Amino acid sequence: MSASFSMPASDTVFAGHFPGHPIVPGAWLLDHVVAAAAEAGLAGPWRLASVKFLSPVGPDEVVTLHLDPARAGGLSFTLHCGARAVASGSISALEG
């Protein structure tokens, strides 16, 4: 599954994250990973098994998310801005 999204430069989060060098918060990126899993019809709740932030994302940059099945029933994900990898990791079902 793939999806694309961006955070507009006008978003108020950029006033404090970070002044003079705005970047998209990592938590916002991860929210999109979990939302995409739900939109794909995959049952949650999820836990983040691993996450690596590789490169910052700026305002208005288009992020492309790819979700793929991983071992043990989880999902692996990658986030890219064009050819540049910005994050990767895996999520798995929260064990109750």
Q: What is the CA radius of gyration of the chain?
A: 14
CATH of the domain at 18: 3.10.129.10
* Tally of domains within the chain: 1
Selected residue with higher pLDDT from 45 and 8: 8
Among candidate residues 92, 94, 30, 41, the one with its CA nearest the CA of residue 65 = 30
Say which residues have a Cβ less than 8 Å from residue 20's Cβ, sequence separation at least 6: none
pLDDT of residue 54: 98
pTM: 0.89
Does residue 41 surpass a pLDDT of 80?
A: no
Selected residue with higher pLDDT from 46 and 80: 80
DSSP 82: T
Say which residues have a Cβ less than 8 Å from residue 35's Cβ, sequence separation at least 6: none
Among candidate residues 75, 85, 96, 71, the one with its CA nearest the CA of residue 1 = 75
pLDDT > 70: percent of the chain? 98
pLDDT of residue 96: 56
Range of the domain at 14: 2-93
